[in-house]
Structure 1
Amino acid sequence: MSEKPDRAAARAAEARLIAPVSPQLQRAGALSVLAGLLWPVQAGGLAWAVSGWASGTEVMQRSLWAAAIFLVCVLLRALLEHRAGALLFRAADRVIGGERARILGREALSREARGSAAVAALCVQKLPMLQPWITRYRVAALKVLLLPLALLLLSGWVSWVVALILLVSGPLIPLFMALVGMAAEEASRRQLGEIASMNDMLMDRLSALQDIRLLGATERAAADFEQRAEGLRARTMAVLRIAFLSSTVLELFAAIGVAMVAVYVGFSLLGVLTFGTWGQPMTLSGGLFVLLLAPEFFQPLRDLAAAWHDRASGLAVAQELAEAETAERLSVLGEGTPATPLAGPLAVEIRSAVAALPGRLLALPDLTLKAGEAVALSGPSGAGKSTCLMALAGLVPLAEGEIRVCGRLLDGETADAWRARMAFLPQRPHFGDMTLEAYLGGPDADLETALDLAQAGRIVARLPEGLATRLGERGGGVSGGEARRLMIARAVASERELILADEPTADLDAETGARVIRALLDLRGAGRTLVVATHDPALIAALDRAVEVSA
């Protein structure tokens, strides 16, 4: 993907993110600008009081009035900033929460090629980076457009020289800030990429932790993780270096601008400089007024510079969101919600079907299946056996042909009801964060019969907490064959008629594989219908018939 489409997609994502909360951001920006406009009132009161002290005129009266004005303005500014902050943070929470729900809902029914670790990193680590971008940058940008101009006009009303100094020194800050910001945006993108890559690697190592220990590769795995962590540290430090550089440039020009104003005011009050005040000599109150305005003139620019890096991170996240939005996906038929089982006798028919996978098409074998049959999908690795199972479950869309189930076309309307009649046994065991009892079906299910049928009763009996055990995502505490038999017990307890099993004996020794095969045959004997994707000759021979799947 080229850089221009990337940026265009990022801008589109930015507009989509901001549009729902734009009114809140505008109100917050207006309140922040009003709070900033109160400072000239405070500065005027202070300058008026100090000039009275110097001249001895109405010292107490001026001091009381100036203190009252100052305190009232402080309270008003605090109230305005508090209200603006509340609007901004509510808007940020709304954007982040909505986007997280959008990602999870989309990934649940339409998966892209990225792994779950990358999606988790986007939801948990990267989306919160939008908060400072929303709460700081957009308001800072609005304040830069209005406040410096107002302060410039007020300063020019006292002295056109002061206005000229501010006019010359002020624009240099955004210029250098934009130059540094280009590098900051690229550095932020590299940092986000490193975070996703590190999460992917961590998930891979955790899922294979048992194998890593058995192979004695723990030191190698730790070294790889250390190397990746060092890469993330380097990316993070690059972002911080750019941030410190831009901050240094900002403070340098701001300090020079304020110093030049102070020098001019000082020499004007001493009578050395007699120009720049519209024909009138510089007064103490006027000089103090412009001196107090000068630092505040640069403050919105400071705020924008501080938020510029938040903008870079926010745009990097927006670009990743745009890429995820337009990525090729594997759509799931239906809504993925509980449904009443599809009516009619169990029957499956695949006719001239072609699965639509990301970037390619895959022809599926013609198949006719009746209730009580046990069919093996055989063929070499990569031929499409697993894809055929996914298509039967409505988890892969078709580009051509059709799949009919229970006499009806398998489509978005029937998919959820069809899945209510089947159980799926994936190649890689997966256990949710729940007790084994809850995973198998809960206290209302006939777990004893299910465990016996799956030849898994002894597995549960030797676990320290029995059915109250939590196995962890990959089944920690049980072997691969035992995990598969527990998944078979879950299928039995669900009382689903059709069982789809993907390579149930893969990576198992002969004895363990034989136990899994016996458990599957017991399922067929209990009246269940089986479709098994496998290249295991023993399992193929044990089933009723085999259907060859070729690439």
Structure 2
Amino acid sequence: MTATAPRLEARFPREMSRIRRAGLLQAGSGLLWIAQAALLARVVGGIASGAPASDAVWPAAAIGALALLRAALDALAARGAFRAARAILTGLRRAAAEALPGLSPFDLSRPTSGSIASGMAEQAEALLPWLTRWHPARLRMSIVPPVILLVIGWTSWVAALALLLAAPLIPIFMALIGIKARDAADRQMSAMSGMNGFLLDRLRGLTTLRAFDAVDGTAVRLRGVAAQLRRRTMAVLRIAFLSSAVLELFAALGVAMVATFIGFHLLGQLPFGAWGVRLDLAAGLFLLLLAPEFFQPLRDFAAAYHDRASGEAALAGLAPLLSAPSGAVLLPAEAAAPALHTGAAALAFRGVSFRHAGATTPVVENFSLEIAPGEKVALLGPSGSGKSTLLALAAGLLRPEQGDVFFDNAFLDEQSIAAARRRTAWLGAAPYFFAGSLEANLLLGRERPAAEAMEAALRLASVEEVVARRPGGLRDLMAEGGLGLSGGEARRVALARAALNPAAGLVLADEPTAHLDQNSAAAVAEGLLRLAQGRTLLVATHDPALAARMDRVVTL
């Protein structure tokens, strides 16, 4: 039992039970060969002793029927295992997709977009051969060889001893090779994830790379990353070929020892080994037919050993998405959110502490702050002092390690976060825009307001000239990331987006004037103050001019 198997057993008990049934069906198919071998050996022995050909009709028909039954069992097992494995893979992908909203953008341990995409796409596919081949092969190996060994031992103890000596060498050497295979598979998955992340990042910034004439240099780096992945993939293949050679060698030696004993025994050179009787041609052929089938489950198990290494590496890649993140986002409960309030919201931090995953010291420790409805508060401090973290805690994008956050005197948890977010407007340091119309980026799925409300929001944020400059106006399409908008224009569009939320009683602004020239910063500051009228404002900033215009400044 591997370390990852219990996790799948607990999460998918029904599917894993179907995979075990598939292994039992394949084991039953393998055991049917004993009857086929006995019938075939009897027919050949009869023909050699001069029996009429008519005596072979019914044994031949039985052999054919058993062959059809074996094929049916194998097909049924393969189909059941594949369906169960596909259900497990779908369930893991669904669980990972459902866990993605719980990963905070402020969590430093959050996997990169490239590793997430790689893990959920091609890496996850490595689970299929692990589940459909290795698990049934392991079960078949534990059933078929012992039964065949008992049958052979009932006829000849020497043949059974020869197989018993050769059989353990295969799993021993496969275990030794498997350690190397697992390490190689882990390195291959890591290289694949790194290359996907590198490629995704460069594709997103392709316009910037072209602007700085860095496309050729990026191509060189991409070739280097691809070459590293190729080398690690070839290392996995080399180990696969080595293991195949090992299992074929010992299987061939075992069959050869049995064949040698049977040959010398039939020739009278080795009169012992058959429980005091002499083997005839039928008995010797029966043993010889069973010997390869004794090794076949071991060979299948060894061949699937690399599927196990790749599957466990793929499952380990999915583990960060399936496990609860340390800086999880507060997600709304299933219950409907309470009715919305109106007006400015109150916000309170009471004894709040937070540290990022892996950090030794908290970024915020025992922090308390009461913000009255309608108050405008600036968080001022150097980088790393916890300004953005406090805003993320207020928005439920991080959970405090200690202490509580209150929104309108209600404890911020799964039951209250939906209503709190409906009443919160967020202005990030780098506003995000998706590929779509300007209007869709402003509304974010909300109903289109009256024309007067839309014009008021555009006027508040001074976005009229941005709209007028576009041929399609509000219906003009935008590229992903807001390409074509300057930094100041992007901030002002984000202001208009926040102004179109009439229920917002709290505005959280993270560095709204950072990296802007003086005129653009002044325009954004004016728009932010207009937006804050009748609302509560909490702004994190390095800008002393903006902080001076707040009701209160809290220095971190």
Structure 2 unaligned spans of 5+:
none
Aligned residues: 540
Cα gap change, 1:417 to 1:316, in 2 (>3 Å) = same
Encode CA deviations 1:351-399: one digit per residue, 9 max, x unaligned. Answer: 444232324430446242423x544332222221111211221222234
Structure 1 unaligned spans of 5+:
1-6
CA root-mean-square deviation: 3.1
Q: Is the 8 A contact 1:13 1:322 kept in 2?
A: no
Q: Quick one: distance in 1 between partners of 2:446 and 2:344?
A: 28
Q: Which residue of 2 aligns with 1:481?
A: 488
Q: Quick one: distance in 1 between partners of 2:252 and 2:2?
A: 37
Aligned partner of 1:69 among 50, 62, 65: 62
Aligned partner of 1:350 among 348, 351, 354: 348
Q: Which residue of 1 aligns with 2:51?
A: 57
Q: Quick one: distance in 2 between partners of 1:251 and 1:470?
A: 62
Cα gap change, 1:418 to 1:456, in 2 (>3 Å) = same
Within 5 Å, give how 1:95-110 maps onto structure 2: 95-110=88-103
1:41 shift after superposition: 1.8
Q: Which residue of 2 aligns with 1:115?
A: 111
Q: Which residue of 2 aligns with 1:384?
A: 386
1:179 shift after superposition: 0.7
Which is further off, 462-471 or 351-360?
A: 462-471
Aligned partner of 1:445 among 443, 448, 456: 448
Aligned partner of 1:403 among 402, 405, 418: 405
Q: Is the 8 A contact 2:379 2:541 kept in 1?
A: yes
Which is further off, 230-239 or 511-520?
A: 511-520
Which is further off, 155-164 or 513-522?
A: 513-522
Which is further off, 416-425 or 320-329?
A: 320-329
Q: Which residue of 2 aligns with 1:503?
A: 511
Q: Which residue of 2 aligns with 1:3?
A: none
Return the letter of the residue paired with 2:240: A
Which is further off, 170-179 or 402-411?
A: 402-411
2:555 corresponds to 1:549? yes
Q: Quick one: distance in 2 between partners of 1:98 and 1:303?
A: 27
1:163 shift after superposition: 1.7
1:197 shift after superposition: 3.1
> What is the DSSP-based 3-state SS (H/G/I as helix, E as strand, rest coil) of the residue aligned with 2:383?
coil
Q: Which residue of 2 aligns with 1:48?
A: 42
Which is further off, 254-263 or 510-519?
A: 510-519
Q: Quick one: distance in 1 between partners of 2:19 and 2:341?
A: 52
Q: Which residue of 2 aligns with 1:426?
A: 428
Q: Is the 8 A contact 2:507 2:532 kept in 1?
A: no
Aligned partner of 1:35 among 29, 36, 43: 29
Cα gap change, 1:277 to 1:410, in 2 (>3 Å) = closer
Q: Quick one: distance in 2 between partners of 1:135 and 1:522?
A: 62
Q: Which residue of 2 aligns with 1:166?
A: 163
1:488 shift after superposition: 2.7
> What is the DSSP-based 3-state SS (H/G/I as helix, E as strand, rest coil) of the residue aligned with 1:274?
coil
2:244 corresponds to 1:285? no
Q: Quick one: distance in 1 between partners of 2:516 and 2:147?
A: 76
Q: Quick one: distance in 1 between partners of 2:471 and 2:243?
A: 59
Aligned partner of 1:256 among 239, 247, 253: 253
Q: Is the 8 A contact 1:355 1:396 kept in 2?
A: no
Return the letter of the residue paired with 2:510: D
2:497 corresponds to 1:490? yes
2:216 corresponds to 1:219? yes
Return the letter of the residue paired with 1:429: P
1:251 shift after superposition: 0.8
Q: Quick one: distance in 1 between partners of 2:484 and 2:97?
A: 30
Which is further off, 282-291 or 163-172?
A: 282-291
2:15 corresponds to 1:21? yes
Q: Quick one: distance in 1 between partners of 2:396 and 2:488?
A: 27
Q: Is the 8 A contact 1:355 1:400 kept in 2?
A: yes
Q: Quick one: distance in 2 between partners of 1:317 and 1:239?
A: 14
Encode CA deviations 1:404-452: one digit per residue, 9 max, x unaligned. Answer: 3223333333222111111212222323455544333258413742444
Q: Quick one: distance in 2 between partners of 1:8 and 1:294?
A: 29
Q: TM-score, normalised by structure 2?
A: 0.87
Q: Which residue of 2 aligns with 1:520?
A: 528
Q: Report % sequence identity.
A: 44
Cα gap change, 1:460 to 1:78, in 2 (>3 Å) = farther
